[in-house]
C-alpha cells in the first residue's frame, strides 16, 4: 500500500487518501496550498509520524510555490512565514519539524538561487524523502523481525503501518517482514480510542493484505495478556528522546505497563528521523491536547452528557525502562539506550 500519498504532476498538488473516513470509503484530499496541508495534518486526513514527515516535505514545496505567487520578489520572506506555520501544525510528531528543517538546510546549501530553481530542487528532494521512507521501513522491518518468533501473536496499538508512513510501515513493517520470512504471525489491533486508528486503519490495511488480524477493545489488554494470548507487543512512535523514552498514541504507556506485569516483550519501531536528540527525556516532549469532540461524539452521535468536560490527550510517553528494544533502519537498539542511540543514531 503506497498510493495513499501521491504527488500529481498534472494537478501540481499533493493527493492524500482521507484517513478520517476509512474503512467505509476511499476518497482523496487535494493539497494545493500550505493551508491545505496544515488542515490535512490537524484534522488527521494524514497521520503517523513518518507520513507526517513526507507530507511536510511536499508541503514545503507547496509553500514555496505559494510564496512565489503571493509575494513575487519578496518570496523568501513569505516562504519563511509559511514554513513556520507548517512547522507549528502539530506539536508532538518530531518528523514534521525534521522535514521542514531538512528543506531549510537544502535551501541554505543551494545558496542564493532563484525561486524556480529552488522549486525544482525541493520537489526532487520531497520525492526522494518519499521514496527513501519506504526503503527505511523495509530495513527497519527486517531488523525488528529478529525479535518476532514463528507462531507469535503480536499486539499493536494505534496504526503504525503503511498508512502512517510512505508505505510498508514501522510497527506493521516489523510484522510484514516477519511474515515475509515465513513466520506464522497473528495480530491483535487495539481499537485505540478515541480516533479508533487500530479498529479502522490497522484492521483495514492488514485485512486488505490478508494478514490475520483481530480487533480488541483497549481495556481488554491486561485480560488478553493474562490469558497468554499475546507473545509480543510492537508499536510505533511519534518522538523518541535521547534516553529512549518514546511518545506514541495515548494508551501505549498503559499497554507497556501491562506487558511488563505479564512478562510480554514490548518493542518500538521508528526511523532515525523520529529521534529528537535535543531533548534528554520524555518529560520534555510536548503532548497534543485535541478537540473534546473526538471523545464526546462517535460520528455525529453524542455519547457524553452535555457540559461534561473531557481529557483528550493524543499521546503519552512510555519510559525507556519498559521498552525491550527499538527497531530502526540502523539496527535493533537495546538498553542501555543512551549509549545505543549515540552509537546508532548519533548525537546533537
The last residue of one of the domains, among 138, 164, 194, is: 138
Q: What is the pLDDT of residue 294?
A: 94
**Structure letter (DSSP) for residue 313:** B
| CA–CA separation, 37 and 35 (whole Å) | 5
Out of 36, 152, 218, 238, the active site residue is: 238
Please indicate, yes or no, whether residues 174 and 232 belong to a single structural domain of this protein.
Answer: yes
Residue 347, pLDDT > 70, answer no
pLDDT tens per residue, range 86-98: 999 998 878 999 9
Is residue 142 part of an annotated ligand binding site? no
The last residue of one of the domains, among 138, 157, 178, is: 138
Please indicate, yes or no, whether residues 101 and 162 belong to a single structural domain of this protein.
Answer: no
Please indicate, yes or no, whether residues 34 and 88 belong to a single structural domain of this protein.
Answer: yes
Residue 5, classed as helix, strand or coil, is: strand
Q: What is the pLDDT of residue 93?
A: 78
The CATH number of the domain where 88 resides is what?
1.20.120.420
Is there a catalytic annotation at residue 88?
no
Please indicate, yes or no, whether residues 118 and 205 belong to a single structural domain of this protein.
Answer: no
- The domain of 83 spans 5-138
The CATH number of the domain where 334 resides is what?
3.40.50.10470
Please indicate, yes or no, whether residues 188 and 321 belong to a single structural domain of this protein.
Answer: yes
Please indicate, yes or no, whether residues 296 and 167 belong to a single structural domain of this protein.
Answer: yes
Residue 19, pLDDT > 60, answer yes
Please indicate, yes or no, whether residues 129 and 225 belong to a single structural domain of this protein.
Answer: no
How many structural domains are present in the chain? 2
- Region of 16 on the Ramachandran plot (φ > 0 left; ψ -120 to 50 alpha; else beta): beta
Is residue 256 part of an annotated ligand binding site? no
The last residue of one of the domains, among 138, 166, 190, is: 138
Please indicate, yes or no, whether residues 156 and 104 belong to a single structural domain of this protein.
Answer: no
pLDDT tens per residue, range 295-334: 999 889 999 999 999 999 999 999 999 999 999 999 999 9
pTM (2 d.p.): 0.91
CB 327 within 8 A of CB 268: yes
Please indicate, yes or no, whether residues 191 and 289 belong to a single structural domain of this protein.
Answer: yes
Percentage of the residues of the chain whose pLDDT score is greater than 90: 94
pLDDT tens per residue, range 114-149: 999 999 999 999 999 999 999 999 999 999 999 999
Beta bridge partners of 267: 234, 325
Kindly report the number of other CB atoms within 10 A of residue 239's CB atom.
Answer: 28
Please indicate, yes or no, whether residues 163 and 53 belong to a single structural domain of this protein.
Answer: no
Residue 191, pLDDT > 60, answer yes
Is residue 249 part of an annotated ligand binding site? yes
Q: What is the pLDDT of residue 92?
A: 83
Residue 342, pLDDT > 70, answer yes
Please indicate, yes or no, whether residues 99 and 38 belong to a single structural domain of this protein.
Answer: yes
Helices within the chain (DSSP H only): 34-42, 49-71, 75-87, 94-110, 115-144, 171-180, 197, 203-208, 221-226, 252-261, 293-296, 337-344
Write down the mean pLDDT value for the chain.
Answer: 95
Please indicate, yes or no, whether residues 151 and 270 belong to a single structural domain of this protein.
Answer: yes
Q: What is the pLDDT of residue 232?
A: 98
Amino acid at each position: 500500500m503506497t498510493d495513499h500519498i501521491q504527488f500529481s504532476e498534472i494537478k501540481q498538488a499533493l493527493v492524500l487518501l482521507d484517513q478520517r473516513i476509512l474503512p467505509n470509503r476511499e476518497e482523496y484530499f487535494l493539497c494545493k496550498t500550505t493551508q491545505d496541508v496544515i488542515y490535512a495534518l490537524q484534522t488527521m486526513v494524514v497521520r503517523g509520524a513518518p507520513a507526517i514527515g513526507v507530507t511536510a516535505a511536499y508541503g514545503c514545496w507547496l509553500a514555496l510555490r505559494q510564496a512565489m505567487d503571493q509575494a513575487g520578489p519578496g518570496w523568501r520572506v513569505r516562504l519563511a512565514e509559511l514554513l513556520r506555520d507548517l512547522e507549528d501544525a502539530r506539536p508532538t510528531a518530531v518528523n514534521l519539524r525534521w522535514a521542514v528543517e531538512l528543506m531549510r538546510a537544502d535551501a541554505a546549501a543551494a545558496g542564493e538561487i532563484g525561486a524556480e530553481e529552488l522549486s525544482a530542487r525541493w520537489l526532487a528532494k520531497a520525492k526522494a524523502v518519499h521514496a527513501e521512507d519506504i526503503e527505511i521501513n523495509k530495513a527497519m522491518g527486517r531488523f525488528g523481525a529478529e525479535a518476532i518468533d514463528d507462531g507469535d501473536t503480536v499486539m499493536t496499538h494505534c496504526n503504525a503501518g503503511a498508512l502512517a508512513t510512505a508505505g510498508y510501515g514501522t510497527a506493521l513493517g516489523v510484522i510484514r517482514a516477519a511474515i515475509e520470512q515465513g513466520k506464522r504471525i497473528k495480530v491483535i489491533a487495539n481499537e485505540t480510542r478515541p480516533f479508533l486508528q487500530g479498529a479502522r486503519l490497522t484492521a483495514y490495511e492488514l485485512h486488505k493484505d490478508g494478514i490475520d488480524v483481530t480487533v480488541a477493545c483497549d481495556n481488554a489488554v491486561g485480560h488478553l495478556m493474562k490469558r497468554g494470548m499475546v507473545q509480543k507487543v510492537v508499536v510505533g512512535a511519534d518522538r523518541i528522546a535521547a534516553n529512549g523514552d518514546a511518545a506514541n498514541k495515548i494508551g501505549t504507556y498503559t499497554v507497556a505497563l501491562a506487558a511488563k506485569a505479564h512478562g510480554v516483550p514490548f518493542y518500538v519501531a521508528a526511523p532515525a528521523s523520529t529521534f529528537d536528540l535535543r531533548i534528554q527525556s520524555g518529560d520534555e516532549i510536548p503532548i497534543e491536547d485535541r478537540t473534546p469532540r473526538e471523545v464526546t461524539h462517535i460520528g455525529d452521535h453524542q455519547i457524553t452528557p452535555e457540559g461534561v468536560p473531557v481529557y483528550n490527550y493524543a499521546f503519552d510517553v512510555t519510559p525507556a525502562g519498559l521498552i525491550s528494544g527499538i527497531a530502526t533502519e540502523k539496527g535493533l537498539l537495546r538498553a542501555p539506550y543512551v549509549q545505543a542511540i549515540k552509537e546508532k543514531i548519533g548525537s546533537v
